[in-house]
């Protein structure tokens, strides 16, 4: 297979973890006889500094013309600490999602047996947890009408029936492939937009009789994820709730540096780690590259290259079992490995497999 990949390293630790993802992808392609070509593009704070736009037209065109996008992270403290800034790195991420029509964000949450102790939750709660959060990505408050002055501000949480139906269809289809349990998360007791979500979900559920469909308010879902994460199989929700819940889910695995994601929809799919740019760690060679590398596994699996994805997952698990880990998940007294060393170990494992 010939793969054309757009690579968006972005800001902070992005370029460091991006390189590891690209190296792993190249190693897998060499192993399985695929050809791969890369086109690099700027985004986020890096793009603002260079051209004044966090998602310039040239970057969009590179993404549009690729088979897939390998994205890393955007964000910079100089924008975070300036509430008056009119242009922000995160606007580039939103623009990418909107312009590529990426309405479905797929975030698997799973545990690694050797890292259960790293979760702040008790081992018996998290061991064996394995669920998928499906987040609507191009609607809601992030894209609704906005206003701000010195005394008043608002964000509009708007959704239409077609937007809700298409994301629920994705969720039901994922549930059919897994344990056939779908939890629709909303706030229908308060929000009109949530009541429309629930109404449409109730209309669609009979089309999937094999799927057990239940409904949960977002505050209850947040609590249930901590109390009983193994309850969930597939969870679907709107943009803002999904953003919060999926980050909460990272504590189940023990580190945000372990969780990948895919964003799919009308155009080129994007694969990325769920964590941010962690600018404080930039250049220190301490960032965990595993979420980026597992995003590469999801990329291969998207194209039905299952053996390729399986080998990456095997290599990641082997690295963890061998205590080849970055500092935040290393065992006490374990050898010191940085971003580059972990990435290289996984590349070597794949090459020798």
Q: For the segment 244-282, what is each residue's pLDDT rounded down to a tens digit? A: 998 888 888 877 788 999 999 999 999 999 888 999 999
Helix residue spans in 205-283 (DSSP H): 218-227, 239-253
Specify whether the backbone of 161 is left (phi greater than 0), alpha (psi in -120 to 50) or beta.
Answer: alpha
- Does pLDDT of 119 surpass 90? no
For the chain, the helix, strand and coil percentages under 3-state DSSP, each to the nearest 5: 50, 20, 30
The Cα 184–Cα 215 span in angstroms is 5
The Cα 58–Cα 300 span in angstroms is 25
Q: Does residue 181 or residue 119 have the better pLDDT?
A: 181
What is the pLDDT at residue 81? 75
- Does pLDDT of 227 surpass 80? yes
What is the pLDDT at residue 332? 86
Report the sign of the C-alpha dihedral through residues 166, 251, 272, 157, in that order.
Answer: positive
The Cα 211–Cα 186 span in angstroms is 19
Q: Do domains 1-102+266-353 and 103-263 have the same CATH topology?
A: yes
User: In this structure, how many other beta carbons lie within 10 angstroms of the beta carbon of residue 35?
Assistant: 10
Task: Dig out the tokens for 258 from the structure.
Answer: 């372990």
Mean pLDDT calculated for residue range 215-237: 97
Residue 116's pLDDT band, with cuts at 50, 70 and 90, is confident
The Cα 16–Cα 62 span in angstroms is 21
The Cα 49–Cα 59 span in angstroms is 15
Answer yes or no: are the C-beta atoms of 109 and 231 closer than 8 Å. Answer: no
- Does pLDDT of 211 surpass 80? yes
- Give the tens place of pLDDT for each residue, 75-102: 998 887 777 778 999 999 989 999 999 9
Asked: is 1-102+266-353 a CATH 3.30.70.3270 domain? The reply is: no
Domain ranges of the chain: 1-102+266-353, 103-263
What is the pLDDT at residue 346? 98
**Is-above-0.75 flag for pTM?**
yes
Answer yes or no: are the C-beta atoms of 8 and 41 closer than 8 Å. Answer: yes
Q: Which class for 206: exposed (0-12), middle (13-18), buried (19 or more C-beta within 10 A)?
A: exposed
Mean pLDDT calculated for residue range 26-53: 97
Mean pLDDT calculated for residue range 318-328: 94
Question: Any idea which residues carry the catalytic annotation?
Answer: 142, 187, 219, 243, 247
Residue 311's pLDDT band, with cuts at 50, 70 and 90, is very high
Mean pLDDT calculated for residue range 54-72: 97
Residue 5's pLDDT band, with cuts at 50, 70 and 90, is very high
Pick the CATH number of 103-263 from 3.40.50.920, 3.60.15.10, 3.30.43.10, 3.40.718.10: 3.40.718.10
What is the pLDDT at residue 295? 97
Compute the residue count for the chain: 353
Task: Dig out the tokens for 270 from the structure.
Answer: 């994007």
- Give the tens place of pLDDT for each residue, 273-303: 988 899 999 999 999 999 999 999 999 999 9
- Does pLDDT of 104 surpass 90? yes
Task: Dig out the tokens for 211 from the structure.
Answer: 């799927």
The Cα 181–Cα 5 span in angstroms is 34
What is the pLDDT at residue 256? 78
Specify whether the backbone of 304 is left (phi greater than 0), alpha (psi in -120 to 50) or beta.
Answer: left
Mean pLDDT calculated for residue range 199-219: 98
What is the pLDDT at residue 120? 85
User: In this structure, how many other beta carbons lie within 10 angstroms of the beta carbon of residue 298?
Assistant: 20
- Does pLDDT of 9 surpass 90? yes
Q: What percent of the chain has pLDDT over 70?
A: 100
Radius of gyration from C-alpha coordinates of the chain: 20
The average confidence (pLDDT) of the chain is 94
- Does pLDDT of 24 surpass 80? yes
């Amino acid at each position: 297979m010939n793969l054309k990949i757009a690579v968006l390293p972005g800001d902070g630790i992005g370029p460091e973890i991006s390189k590891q993802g690209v190296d792993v992808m190249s190693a897998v392609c060499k192993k399985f006889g695929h050809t791969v070509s890369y086109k690099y593009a700027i985004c986020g704070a890096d793009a603002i500094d260079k051209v004044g736009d966090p998602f310039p037209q040239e970057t969009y065109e590179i993404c549009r013309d690729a088979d897939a996008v390998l994205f890393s992270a955007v964000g910079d403290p100089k924008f975070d600490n300036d509430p008056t800034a009119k242009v922000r790195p995160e606007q580039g991420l939103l623009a990418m999602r909107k312009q590529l029509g990426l309405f479905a964000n797929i975030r698997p949450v799973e545990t690694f047996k050797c890292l259960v102790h790293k979760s702040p939750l008790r081992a018996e709660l998290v061991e064996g947890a394995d669920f998928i959060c499906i987040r609507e990505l191009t609607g809601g408050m992030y894209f609704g009408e906005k206003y701000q002055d010195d005394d008043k501000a608002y964000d509009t949480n708007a959704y239409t029936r077609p937007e809700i139906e298409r994301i629920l269809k994705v969720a039901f289809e994922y549930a059919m492939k897994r344990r056939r349990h779908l939890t629709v998360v909303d706030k229908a007791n308060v929000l009109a937009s949530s009541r429309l979500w629930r109404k449409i979900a109730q209309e669609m559920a009979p089309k999937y009789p094999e799927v057990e469909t239940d409904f949960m308010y977002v505050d209850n879902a947040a609590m249930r994820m901590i109390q009983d994460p193994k309850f969930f199989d597939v969870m679907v929700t709107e943009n803002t709730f999904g953003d919060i819940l999926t980050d909460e889910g990272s504590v189940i695995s023990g580190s945000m540096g372990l969780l990948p994601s895919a964003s799919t929809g009308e155009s080129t799919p994007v694969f990325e780690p769920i964590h941010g740019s962690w600018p404080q760690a930039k250049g220190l060679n301490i960032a965990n590259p595993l979420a980026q590398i597992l995003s590469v596994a999801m990329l291969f699996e998207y194209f039905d290259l299952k053996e390729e994805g399986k080998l990456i997952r095997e290599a990641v698990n082997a690295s963890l079992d061998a205590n080849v880990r970055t500092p935040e998940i290393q065992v006490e007294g374990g050898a010191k490995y940085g971003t580059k060393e972990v990435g290289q170990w996984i590349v070597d494992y794949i090459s020798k497999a």
